[in-house]
Structure 1
Amino acid sequence: VIIAPLGYQAFECTGKCYTPIGEYLTPTKHAIIQTLVHASYPEQASRACCVPTKFDPISIIYFDENGGIRYDYTSEDMVVAECGCR
């Protein structure tokens, strides 16, 4: 059972990627090609999508299986830190 935090903001990445895909969106080569194909043949390929590319950890306090209180200061990949086109 988690004691703290009672909640947190996980954030999210949403939406489609449009041509041209800016470098700030760190597109993969696949996303670039997929977007170009979609521009010419939309029925053959969907647009690349905005997805999480980097995550940050959060700290949690919880009861372990023996009822002891534990502190996990690196619960990895819990908060979206960056988004990109994939």
Structure 2
Amino acid sequence: MDPWGSEVVETAEVAPEFEDNFKPAVESEKLADSAEYLAILERKLKAVRNKSKVVENLSAYREDCLNRLMRDGCDLDPVIGDTEGEKLLQE
């Protein structure tokens, strides 16, 4: 019994299988510019690989800076006029 009083009964017929059964359609053809597109992707991949070396170099530099700070210590009190140019002028 429907509590809202709208006894509409719809029957839908459902197919016993999926629409496409996940089977690939006919073979697709390569696009006319696919060779150019692949060449562009390969150039981008090469650039990304080169950038990873930059990241490695920066990581090594960061590691070196941290080691120097730990070894030599650092002055954490900020001083106005403590730039290299102003230090040279004071000498």
TM-score using structure 1 length: 0.24
Pick the structure with more helix per residue: 2
State the structure with more CA Rg: 2
Pick the structure with more strand per residue: 1
Greater relative contact order structure (CA < 8 Å, 6+ sep): 1
